[in-house]
Amino acid sequence: MAKRAAKKLRVAFIGAGGIAGTHMRYYNEMDDVEMVAMSDISKPGMARWADQYGIPEAYTDYDKMLKEIKPDAVSVCTPNGLHAPATIAALKAGAHVIVEKPLAMNAKEGQQMLAAAKRYKKKLVIGFQQRYDAKAQFLKNAVDKGQMGNVLFGRVQALRRRGIPNWGVFGRKDLQGGGPIIDIGVHALEVTHYVMGSPKPVAASGNIYTYMGNKPSNVQSQWPGWDHKSYTVEDLAVGQIRFENGATIHIESSFVAHIPKNLMTFQLMGEKGGGTWDPVQLFEDNNGYMVNTEPGWLPKTDIFQAKMRNFVDHTLYNKPTIAPAEHGLMVQKMLDGIYESAEKGKEVRIR
């Protein structure tokens, strides 16, 4: 265990919704973190966290909070449309930042965020928790040790049969940047890309379809009654990413799809072997036979706890992070490429 510093990391929050509450839960368990302030447009939303976690200061203006509180670090937990301005403001104010996924609304904003981190000499981490999962680490070790040889192809699936969120602004392209592929697809895409070794994307092609979310529905589902009138994102997105090393990723992501059940998984195919994430298995040739291997035991990792602990260790003790903002920017470029390709009807270059 890392030696704990005498100084505590003073953390503030921009955005005090549900995801901020998850950050707070784990910070609250750490003896080297002090939660000092939060900012949100909703005063009642902040009041519940003040009561639960004793956070002393609440602001409706995050610029004022940053100026007066001067936190060491900030959790940016806003809708996607505010990721870039909130992150850049926090970095400029002298705070390290962990920003929830996706990095931003688009890669241009993401590049501005990375430039700000470099300019102000602060650390910027992206909230990609799936890579902390024990299944992901099992497959990453197999790839890193050459068990799969060159990984040629990844199939990414983040599919809901009927799972349009009926809260927040997930159906609004102007505030989120997109629909399922930028909301849930990003989780499976980022961990696949990470396990493959984070190759540089060079081209993308994709298609998006909206056929149900913008219409009223009386079908029973887990989250009924979404606002179909303000729904401007896709129901289903499919795409393909080509990488500099010759590898390819195919992705499927949906809020609505006529499939047997929800899926959140990926599969890898390499020259010498392959694997799946859920269920976690390796596929190899051994002693003249095709062999399927699964781990006899994996630790039960609380991936959010691991993500938050890694951010604190990275900022307070200078330990490495496995979720640098640079990875978030590559994933953002992939998402942008799929949307651009769908709009133009042809493959597009990623730069």
Q: What is the CATH number of the domain that holds 85?
A: 3.40.50.720
> Is 2 within a domain?
no
* Model pLDDT for residues 245-258, shown as the tens digit of each residue: 999 999 999 999 99
pLDDT at 7: 85
Percent pLDDT > 90 in the chain is: 97
Q: Do 85 and 227 fall into the same domain?
A: no
> Is 306 within a domain?
no
Q: Are 124 and 99 in contact (CB under 8 A)?
A: yes
The pTM is what?
0.94
> Is 305 within a domain?
no
Q: Do 282 and 153 fall into the same domain?
A: yes
Q: Do 171 and 216 fall into the same domain?
A: yes
DSSP 234-285: -SEEEEEEEETTS-EEEEEEESB--SSS-EEEEEEEESSEEEETTTTEEEEE
* Domain that includes residue 206, residue range: 131-300+332-349
Bond before 102 cis per omega within 30 degrees: yes
Q: Do 75 and 192 fall into the same domain?
A: no
Q: Do 295 and 262 fall into the same domain?
A: yes
Average pLDDT value for the chain? 96
Looking at 127, 142, 163, the residue that finishes a domain is 127
CATH number of residue 138's parent domain: 3.30.360.10
Number of domains the chain contains: 2
pLDDT at 4: 53
Q: Do 69 and 142 fall into the same domain?
A: no
Looking at 112, 127, 142, the residue that finishes a domain is 127
Q: How confident is the model at residue 241 (pLDDT cuts 50, 70, 90)?
A: very high
* Model pLDDT for residues 52-85, shown as the tens digit of each residue: 999 999 999 999 999 999 999 999 999 999 999 9
> Is 312 within a domain?
no
Q: How confident is the model at residue 305 (pLDDT cuts 50, 70, 90)?
A: very high
Sequence-distant (6+) residues with CB within 8 A of 345 are none
pLDDT at 171: 96
pLDDT average, residue stretch 256-273:
97
> Is 233 within a domain?
yes
Q: Do 182 and 45 fall into the same domain?
A: no
Q: Do 137 and 109 fall into the same domain?
A: no
Q: Do 228 and 206 fall into the same domain?
A: yes
Q: Do 96 and 190 fall into the same domain?
A: no
Sequence-distant (6+) residues with CB within 8 A of 19 are 77, 100
pLDDT average, residue stretch 271-285:
98
* Model pLDDT for residues 182-234, shown as the tens digit of each residue: 999 999 999 999 999 999 999 999 999 999 999 999 999 999 999 999 999 99
φ, ψ dihedrals at 328, nearest 5°: -60, -35
> Is 263 within a domain?
yes
Looking at 77, 111, 127, the residue that finishes a domain is 127
pLDDT average, residue stretch 130-151:
98
pLDDT average, residue stretch 229-243:
98
